[in-house]
Amino acid sequence: MVEGYVCSSDGKALSNVDVLVKDTKISYGQVVRTDGDGYYKAMFHLHNDNFGDPLLVEAGGEQKNLKVEFDQKDLESERKIKVNFGAGCEASGSPAWIWWGGGVVVAAAGTIIGMKLVRSRRKQERGKGKSQRQRKA
């Protein structure tokens, strides 16, 4: 499998971009299109004798020349090659600001809950103190 992301120079995902993936030794290739996140995936049936074949990947007028590489002894794992185009377009996860923002929200919620628990315990302790004083009188 050849997969990756296509993004603009400012890191924004480019959708509906044609990506050519071609094993130039055997003249087999295919054109796939990026999705809304700029992700594409092309499937090939690779045998051990395809190891080292020249691979051409082209998107948006940019070409990358690679060689087909994988562990020839590993017959179980999927053979993957990752090829990205553009700057900072590794969109395999949520943007960092979501994680930081979520962390801040969780920390704030924990602080508020903790403060409420402390206040409620203080009220309970005050209430116990008053009832003990009333019994003595």
For the chain, the domains span 2-82, 94-137
CA pair distance 53, 37, nearest whole angstrom: 29
Architecture of domain 2-82: Sandwich (2.60)
pLDDT in 10s for each residue of the chain, 137 residues: 889 999 988 888 999 999 999 888 887 889 999 999 999 999 877 777 888 888 899 998 888 988 888 888 888 878 788 889 987 665 455 555 566 667 777 777 778 888 888 888 888 877 766 555 555 55
Contacts of 21 (CB under 8 A, 6+ apart): 2, 29, 30, 31, 32, 42, 44, 55, 56, 57
112: region left, alpha or beta (phi > 0 left; psi from -120 to 50 alpha): alpha
Q: Yes or no: say if 20 and 55 are a contact pair by the CB < 8 Å rule.
A: no
